[in-house]
Amino acid sequence: KDGNCIYEGAQWFPRLAVYSDYEGWHNKAFLGAGEFTLEFGDYRVALTVPSDHVVSSTGVLQNPGAVLTAAQRDRLARARTASEPVYVVTPEEAAAAEKAKATTEKTWIFQASNVRDFGWASSRKFVWDALGVKQDEPGAEHPVVMAMSFFPKEARPLWDAYSTKSIAHTLKVYSDFTFAYPYPVAQSVNGPVGGMEYPMISFNGPRPVKDKKTGALTYTERAKYGLIGVVIHEVGHNYFPMIVNSDERQWTWMDEGLNSFLEFQAEVQWDKKFPSRRGEPKDIVEYMVSQDQVPLMTQSDSVIQFGPNGYSKPATALVILRETIMGRELFDRAFKEYSN
């Protein structure tokens, strides 16, 4: 309303097509139902934005001295060993930036190694908080991963309370089931996109609403669990497909299904009564008896109901396999072996 926008950038540069042994060149037209498998690469990206903007991006910020104040750099350093999220850019600083609207520019430089894509977001509206997440897994490349969230005042107090903590929880649970998170940062950004993922950065949508009596921003239990669930799911995509690098265009379930299974595990570890959308056998019955059901191996563009078939059915199948057929110990060992 006031001209202060949130910009989210993705699919914004030409990417190398993959050549695989099972398909040759991956040159299918993008129809929206599944994403491409991609080649890994190293990126050094410079983003020039208005000087009062805060930028979230795939990769690690290379020039904090040029874009952050001394106080902000100190807060970012403190967040690395903090027990609770620390504001790097405070709500007061974000509010001041919204009013001033700078006319000068700054260039933010990011470096990312061994990633298959690159996304970013920029706004003068962003509050930024951060929390260091310790990785105890043997062979972890990064003993501490920085979990960070970027959000406008319209997302408070919901995002302050749960976004960064949800990232930290995701990294711990997913790493227990698979491998140590191999990147130095994991981020959640609130903006116009409701749920989308890229290496080290995700775009997530839930926001609070105004209390009809007081006018203050507040949130329901549904919004709370909605935010936690979408952050777990989108940050979890760093593991499947972005690190394992499965091909969603061909095998949707190996991306969305495996991720939805781990999302369910993370949700019930957060709260035994978490209102999970996928994973419980009772929640897939209606789809399983419908005429729209197709085999898991169906190519993504041919799936009639993408969500139930690509997300819910494989997640539920893996839950049943773990809980009633193989047992947790054997299943978890096999799942970790596959992931690695």
Domain 7-237 has CATH 3.30.2010.30: yes
Give pLDDT, residue 82.
99
Q: Are 64 and 52 in contact (CB under 8 A)?
A: no
pLDDT for the residue 3: 85
**Position 317, amino acid:** A
| pLDDT for residue 138 | 84
How far, in Å, CA of 183 to CA of 8, rounded? 21
Helix (H) or strand (E) holding 64: helix 64-67
| pLDDT in the model for residue 162 | 98
Instruction: List, for the chain, all residue ranges whose pLDDT scores fall below the cut of 50.
Output: none
Per-residue pLDDT at 32: 72
Q: What pLDDT does residue 299 have?
A: 86
The answer to whether 243 and 204 are in contact (CB under 8 A) is: no
| CATH 3.30.2010.30 domain locations along the chain | 7-237
Q: Look up the pTM and report it.
A: 0.96
- From CA 40, how far away is CA 258, in angstroms rounded? 21
- Residue 88 in 3-state DSSP? strand
The pLDDT assigned to 147 comes to: 99
Q: For residue 224, what pLDDT is reported? A: 97
Cis peptide before 157 (omega within 30 of 0): yes
Using CA atoms, how far residue 22 sits from 18, 40, 250, in Å, is: 11, 18, 10
- Residue 90, C-beta contacts closer than 8 angstroms, at least 6 positions apart: 127
